[in-house]
Structure 1
Amino acid sequence: MTNEILAVEGLARHFAPHVSVIDRLFGTKPTENRAVDGVDLVLHKGETLGLVGESGSGKSTLARAIVGLHPPTAGVIRYDGEVLPAKRTRAQQRAIQMVFQDPYSSLNPRMTVGQMLAELLRFHKLVPRDKVRERSRELMHLVGLPERALGQRPRQFSGGQRQRVGIARALALEPTVLLADEPVSALDVSVQATIINLFADLKDTLDLSVIFVSHNMAVVRQICDRTAVMYRGRIVETGSTGTLFDDPVHPYTRLLTGSVPRLVGSEGPVRAEVEAEDDRGDVRQEVAASAARDGTTPCRFADRCPSVVAECAVEPPLLPDPRDPARLAACVHVPRLAEVVGADAEPGPT
């Protein structure tokens, strides 16, 4: 598509295992950690893309690989149609910036906010030296902090204020793509809403394209245009946020959205509608045996899936939903949704 600002193709990031003395003694070879294992993802201009999944699914590693903190093991990252090299230019580094989960650990405790911003602005030569202070004041105003914050250090701020400083630091480099890695998970609930609203305002004001990494499904549903669901290093479903939440296709997406607590009645309890995992142990064993025999990679959700079938011995690619080609899901059941479309298209009795 012509409005793609960022595209990830077959991206993988593997981490070499730690080999202990015991491993060497017994000749054991530890398993390689495939944190990101072949991800295809597209971000459109002016879009907010949600990236969700349980802890350990590879969301943060994917975000760090896109921003350039983790060199990819395989695959390519395209920005505005151009492949980003392993060693990026300053302009390419500035174009994609990140807001980290823990604002305190990402800030230098020995420097004031003004010193941090001035260092960035001077190093990248974004404004003349005599305009650095003025630009720093503009950044403080942009994130809702007073000018006096420039003379303070991170320890003098609350959690929400520190996150605003982290956002200001990312915006100082004038990026077009912003990656927000769990930006509100370390904050009090009362503060989360203000930071979320700030992200929404900045996106519109600065015409940003945003990847919003989170495990908070309610937040993602509120602010994201599209959502990608990640499981064990792979994207298993993508689509418009409303459609994906209201009618999930992949069994893992159904499990994830069903686990969001819902209020029952005006005074009823909070409950989570989690899809039950049926007893399909025989099918799972058959899938594992078939994959081992044929040397294939089985669907990585097969050992938990309540809809597992023999065909799951081969991991499926992202397949278009016949009811909505803009939505993709990595599930063998997706082609069978065409039967639903055909049934809906059958004319009624005359």
Structure 2
Amino acid sequence: MAGNEILTVEGLARHFTPPVSVTDRLFGKKPVVNRAVDGVDLVLHKGETLGLVGESGCGKSTLARSIVGLYGLTAGAIRYDGELVQAKRTRAQRLAIQMVFQDPFSSLNPRMTVEQTLSELLRFHKLVPRNKVGERNRELMDLVGLPERALKQRPRQFSGGQRQRVGIARALALEPTVLIADEPVSALDVSVQANIINLLTDLQERLHLSVIFVSHNMAVVRQISDRTAVMYRGRIVETGETETLFDDPVHPYTKLLISSVPRLAEAGDVVEPDAVAAESGVEAAGENPMLAEIIGSAARGGTSPCRYADRCPAVVAACAVEPSLIVDPRDSGRSAACVHVAERKGVVA
């Protein structure tokens, strides 16, 4: 898909610095900087769904909000359709990248009906003539599978799944080409989750959207995504085609995530968590004498060690320097931030 990029993220960083109290200032205490996103490189191709997975707190939502423009960038750059996205975005760039939030209730104005919410957007951005606003509202309701009468209702009158459909309709009202879905089904019942996932898949095909689907649910990501990016402590540690990444993970953290997905055992079998981890090549790091050596080596060399070193069972001396994404010699479409990637030889059958 080279040359088919719709969105490119280069070295994106977003750090948060808490305010310093008067007492801390008197004693010269410096604030601890929260490096929520710390140098992310990411590519979204036209028409694809890119899954973004990782543990809670790894920086997924911060990355999503930075891409859509809700947070300013500490460092790095974003390019949309080959053009650099400046701090003050152009009107076209603001409309082109839209977001579906995790909690639709808190992201919708409780005092406004759906019709008022959508009409305000359409009129402010002058997307349709004023006499066509009502018609466009009805089209949006039909698009997300809600009846026309829903336009007269307020958020509190909907179920969780219906509110999320309203949130999707609001994002689509601006006719985006890139849709960022930030944990769109995590607050919903399992049966409702399937409906929203099917809706997003259908909309992606019908409207030719490029989607970044943020989630910590590996099973959902495997179902909906063409490619997957794994995030850990503010960095992307592995990317690749979804099926390849799930069937043959490279990075130890990716292996750990996949091994944690519950699976059904055969009749009469008992699957222990340790057995699942061992099957995926993941072991508890435990006390590793190499770790102290790596930390000391990094301090002497002025480098940052691999941020997964304290949990990795395969840590080596080379981990004293945090690696960038390294292309897998067995699969040029996949890369991982691990020194062991270069050791993989041969071609996968």
Classify the TM-score, shorter chain: over 0.9
* Partner amino acid, structure 2, of 1:118: S
Between the aligned partners of 2:213 and 2:95, the Cα distance in structure 1 is: 18
Residues 262 and 271, structure 1, Cα contact 8 Å, conserved in 2: no
Q: Against the structure 1 CA distance between its residues 291 and 242, is the aligned structure 2 distance closer, same or farther, given a 3 Å change threshold?
A: same
Q: TM (normalized to structure 1)?
A: 0.95
- 1:293 is matched with 300
Assess, with a 3 A threshold, how the Cα gap between structure 1 residues 21 and 294 changes in structure 2: closer, same or farther. Answer: same
- The DSSP-based 3-state class of the residue aligned with 1:261 is coil
CA shift at 1:20, angstroms? 3.2
Cα distance in structure 2, aligned partners of 1:112 and 1:306: 54
In the alignment, the residues of structure 2 paired with residue 98 and residue 317 of structure 1 have an alpha-carbon distance, to the nearest angstrom, of 28
Q: Secondary structure at the match of 1:86?
A: coil
Q: What is the match of residue 329 of structure 1?
A: 336
- 1:110 corresponds in structure 2 to 111
Which of 264-273 and 114-123 deviates more? Answer: 264-273
Tell me the SS of whatever aligns to 1:195: helix
Aligned amino acid, residue 69 of structure 1: L
C-alpha deviation, 1:146, in angstroms: 0.3
One-letter identity of the residue aligned with 2:257: L
Structure 2 segments unaligned to the other structure (5+ residues):
none
**In 1: Cα distance, 2:284 partner to 2:159 partner:** 43
Counterpart-to-counterpart distance in 2, 1:100 and 1:207: 20
Alpha-carbon deviations, 1:50-104, whole Å to 9, x = none? 0000011100000000000001111110000000110112211110000000000
> Which string of whole-angstrom CA distances, capped at 9 and with x for unpartnered residues, describes residues 256-290 of structure 1?
11111111113656754232213352101111011
Q: Deviations over 1:214-245 (max 9, x none)?
A: 00000000010000000011000000000100
Other-structure match for 1:276: 283
Mapped partners of 1:75, 1:105: distance in 2: 30
C-alpha contact (below 8 Å) 1:263/1:271 kept by paired residues: no
Matches within 5 A, 1:34-73: 34-73=35-74
Q: Supply the RMSD in Å over aligned alpha carbons.
A: 1.5
Aligned residue type for 1:244: L
Cα distance in 2 between the residues matched to 1:277 and 1:25? 44
> Aligned AA for 2:317?
A
Is contact 2:108–2:155 with CA below 8 Å preserved after alignment? yes
Aligned-partner Cα distance in 2 for 1:29–1:288: 23
Residue identity opposite 2:338 in structure 1: C
Q: Give the equivalent residue in structure 1 for 2:320.
A: 313
- The structural deviation recorded for 1:28 is 2.1
Q: Distance in 2 between matches of 1:85 and 1:26?
A: 39
Q: Tell me what 2:211 maps to.
A: 210
Match of 1:41, SS state, is: strand
Q: Are 2:51 and 2:213, in contact at CA under 8 Å, matched by a contact in 1?
A: yes
Counterparts of 1:267 and 1:206 in 2: how far apart (Å)? 47
Query: Matched residues in 2 for 1:19 and 1:312: separation?
Result: 34
User: Which residues in structure 2 correspond to 1:131-280 (within 5 Å)?
Assistant: 131-266=132-267, 268=269, 272=273, 273-274=276-277, 275-280=282-287
Equivalent-residue separation in structure 2 for 1:29 and 1:162 (angstroms): 43
- Find the aligned partners of 2:36 and 2:285 in 1 and give their Cα distance: 28
Residues 198 and 267 of structure 1, relative CA distance in 2, 3 Å threshold:
farther
CA distance 1:268–1:134, change in 2 (3 Å):
farther
Change (3 A) 1:300 1:55: same
Q: Is the 8 A contact 1:9 1:39 kept in 2?
A: yes
Answer whether contact 2:49 2:211 (CA < 8 A) is retained.
yes
In structure 2, relative to structure 1, the CA distance for the partners of 1:179 and 1:271 (3 Å cut) is farther
Distance across 2 between alignment mates of 1:269 and 1:171 = 47
How far, CA to CA, are the matches of 1:32 and 1:146 in structure 2? 48
**CA contact under 8 A between 1:280 and 1:306: conserved in structure 2?**
no
Q: Give, in whole Å, the separation in 1 of the partners of 2:343 and 2:177.
A: 39
Partner of 2:309: 302
Q: What amino acid does structure 1 have at the position aligned with 2:102? A: Q
8 Å CA contact retained: 1:261, 1:271: no
SS at match of 1:97: strand
Structure 1 contact 280–308 (Cα < 8 Å) conserved: no
- Rounded to whole Å, the distance in 1 between the matches of 2:113 and 2:94 is 23
Structure-2-length-normalised TM-score: 0.95
Query: How do 1:72-87 and structure 2 match up within 5 A?
Result: 72-87=73-88
